[in-house]
Structure 1
Amino acid sequence: MRLVERVQQVLKARGVFWGRYGLYIYALIFGAVSIALTYSDLVFFGRGSIWGITTGESKLGGIVWASVIDPGIAATQYYKEFPLVNPLSDPAQMIVIGILLGGVIASLALGEFSLKHLPNTWMLIQALLGGFLLGYGSRLALGCNIGNFLSAWASAGLNAVSFTLGMIPGVFIGSKIFEKIFLFRAGPITTRSLAPPPNLKIPLTILAALLAVLLALYSQPRASLFLAFGIVFGVIGYLSKLCWATGLREIASPIWGSGKMLKAVLIAIAIYAIGVWILYIEGAPLSLALAKGAGQLQIFIGGVIFGIGMGIAGTCIFSSEWRAGSGSIYSMVVLASTILIGMPVLAYHYQWWKSILPQPLPNMSFYSIMGPLGILPTLAFLLILILIAHIAHRAYSRTG
């Protein structure tokens, strides 16, 4: 009896510990897996890429658009810079597919996959509008909350500063639009969900895993690597519920959270940045996430549009993928609007934006001008985030 009681006490303590610190542990793992991808790419393929997802999303959207609506989209300036290629040969597209599969596999394995969040009319408008702005803004800026935020800060890129200066006010604006228009109108039609029968959960999990294996076998080696890491990112996302939009909305208003998600975002960036810094001082040839080809004003404006989309949709590019994979119909609509509408529409406008916007300041990393001390701007930004998270926590405590 005493043994049973001790086991129960241990499990209870573990539950309390994980409930308090689990998100932070997952964020640490997320940052470590990010640098593991860069290191693996360096060792096996000599690339050392810092990862992103919206380039791949825009190619997937462009392939569908060219097949169904307008083949001429492939001739736009945007798709001349980012050509439409077979997904099985393209790491940028395969990591997107991997994140989706990661959400599917994790939710099925835990017996939690279900079709849910069927939107009413207002929620549908919210998803379509937010998703469109996410897609349009991210590709105008040539990066999203991963490529121009997580990876850009890890790269100590000037684009991280430009994008963040646009994105955070954008999130504030988008959150206020959500509060004024959608908060009390948008919602699921029903709280019920449609889950597969219990006897199919294991077979479906195995089927999803086999699909991942088949994709890996038929993909080019580097694309297979990014697929595998995408699956890991999707699994971590589902298990942790890690979402950049949630963290950044905590800055906009204390009603959105205690600052916990913002701290998790901070941890992920910190671990990734330290890993990149170690590789840099070791002289590794890295392909940093600098939004090459976009001027800083263009990145800033794209960040504003993207941030408004995050505030309205209540999700980021990354979380919309793993949530869609786990059966959220709302997230599927957001993702479809992002990939199939927002990004292709931007492709038609891309050359116009490039022609009217001055392109001040080059695409560069602070490492190029400060050497190993280039990590200091990133560390300074993280300290600012710590302060903001502390303020958000105090404000949230007062509202509670």
Structure 2
Amino acid sequence: MNTPHFAPISLIHQLGAVGGFLLQLVLLAFVYYVVTVIEKRRHGKLISAKIENKNGWKAIYKGPWSLLVGALLLAVMNALVLMINGKPWGITSAFALWGAKFVQLFGVDPTEWAYWQDPAKLKALKSPLYQDTTTVMDISLMFGALLAAAFAGRYAKPIQWKRPSRMTIGALIGGLMMGYGTRLAFGCNIGAYFSGIASFSVHGWIWFVFAFLGSIIGVKLRPYCAYKN
């Protein structure tokens, strides 16, 4: 796509593997320090991240898992995806593919659109969905989430079908903005942020800064959409 952009910057290419890794650690330590200071000022102390386990060994499938276990599993799975798929973990590129496949059913030809001029994307568009790795992972992720919720007994609670109109409108607007933004940024909080930082790309840190600022604005807007902070 012919959009404004800077040349890619890799910390490994610029500083070497050791230098890039050390800079990542420094940046992560700085983020930890800043959020720690903010939390102490707001709450007077650090809120414990320890999660009480009332399920014993059943926590393996019922939860909750500790933040450390979750972080380690995410890191390992992302590394496996990189080794098997040849590229970092992504999510939202499949949504664009699904949308393009859908409009093709009505005679629309998305191959003329700028987004699909990339050879890899065009190949995915012309291939069956089951051959798209991201599609397979996304569907597996959704089924896995449903299965995990079932094991945890989440479906025992009644579903609230009636919601305030402004909550629905806010969710729709937010979803559209997120979807449009992920295509402009070529990734969401997984592909652009998590995988970006994990692959030592500067764009992941830039995404983090602006997503953090956007989250602050979003939290302040939540009450207007009938959400509680």
Tell me which of 61, 79, 86 is aligned to 1:35.
79
Hey, what's the Cα distance between the residues in 1 that align with 2:111 and 2:132? 16
**Partner of residue 20, structure 2:** none
Aligned match of 1:76: 113
Determine which structure has the larger helix proportion and give its number.
1
How do 1:1-400 and structure 2 match up within 5 A?
A: 15=54, 22-39=66-83, 41=84, 48-68=86-106, 71-81=108-118, 82-83=121-122, 84=125, 85-113=127-155, 116-118=159-161, 119-179=163-223, 181-182=224-225, 185=226
C-alpha distance after superposition, 1:260-294 (max 9, x if no partner): xxxxxxxxxxxxxxxxxxxxxxxxxxxxxxxxxxx
Q: CA deviation at 1:154?
A: 0.4
For residues 55-76 of structure 1, the C-alpha deviation after alignment (integer angstroms, 9 at most, x for no partner) is: 11211122123325x6133421
CA–CA separation in structure 2 for the residues paired with 1:186 and 1:161? 29
Distance 1:30 1:74, change over 3 A: same
Q: What TM-score comes out, normalization by structure 2 length?
A: 0.62
Structure 2 CA distance for aligned equivalents of residues 21 and 75 of structure 1 = 46
Distance 2:167 2:194 in 1: 28
TM-score normalised according to structure 1 size: 0.37
Structure 1 residues 31 and 145: CA distance shift in structure 2, 3 A: same
Q: 2:187 aligns to what SS in structure 1?
A: coil
CA displacement at 1:92 relative to structure 2: 1.6
* Whole-angstrom distance in 2 between the partners of 1:186 and 1:168: 19
User: Runs of at least 4 residues of structure 1 off by over 6 A?
Assistant: 16-21
SS of the residue corresponding to residue 36 of structure 1 reads helix
The amino acid of 2:149's aligned partner reads S
Q: Is the 8 A contact 1:104 1:113 kept in 2?
A: no
Alpha-carbon offset, residue 186 of structure 1: 5.2
Alignment-mate amino acid for residue 92 of structure 2: T
User: What is the rounded CA distance, in whole Å, between the counterparts of 1:168 and 1:110 in structure 2?
Assistant: 30
Q: In the TM superposition, what whole-angstrom CA distance separates every residue of 1:43-93 from its partner, at most 9, and x where no partner exists?
A: xxxx5321111111211122123325x613342111233232421111021
SS at structure 2 position matched to 1:15 = coil
Distance 1:165 1:178 in 2: 20
Identity of aligned residues (%): 25
Question: 2:94, 2:134 within 8 Å by CA — same for their partners in 1?
Answer: yes
Change (3 A) 1:38 1:88: same
Cα–Cα, structure 1 residues 14 and 141, in superposed 2: closer, same or farther, change >3 Å? closer
Contact 1:52–1:147 (CA<8 Å) still a contact in 2?
Answer: yes
Contact 1:66 1:73 in 2 (8 A): yes
Residue aligned with 1:101, SS: helix
Q: Would you say the 8 A contact 1:52–1:92 is kept in 2?
A: yes
SS at match of 1:150: helix
User: 1:71 and 1:166 mapped to 2: Cα distance?
Assistant: 35
Determine the C-alpha separation between the residues in 1 that align with 2:134 and 2:73: 21
Tell me the equivalent position of 2:6. Answer: none
Report which stretch shifted further, 81-90 or 132-141.
81-90
The one-letter code of the counterpart of 1:134 is: M
SS at match of 2:66: helix
Structure 1 residue 14 displacement after superposition: 5.0
Contact 2:92 2:187 in 1 (8 A): yes
Secondary structure in structure 1 of the residue aligned to 2:54: helix
Please give the alpha-carbon distance, in whole angstroms, between the structure 1 residues aligned to 2:70 and 2:206: 28
Q: Is the 8 A contact 2:53 2:64 kept in 1?
A: no
In 1: Cα distance, 2:179 partner to 2:95 partner: 9
What's the secondary structure of 1:136's corresponding residue? helix
CA RMSD of aligned residues (A): 2.9
Looking at structure 1, the residues matched to 137 and 65 of structure 2 have their Cα atoms a distance apart, in angstroms, of 28
Aligned residue identity for 2:116: Y
Superposed CA offset, 1:91-141 (max 9, x none): 021111111111122223444337724233112102101100110001100
2:16 counterpart residue number: none
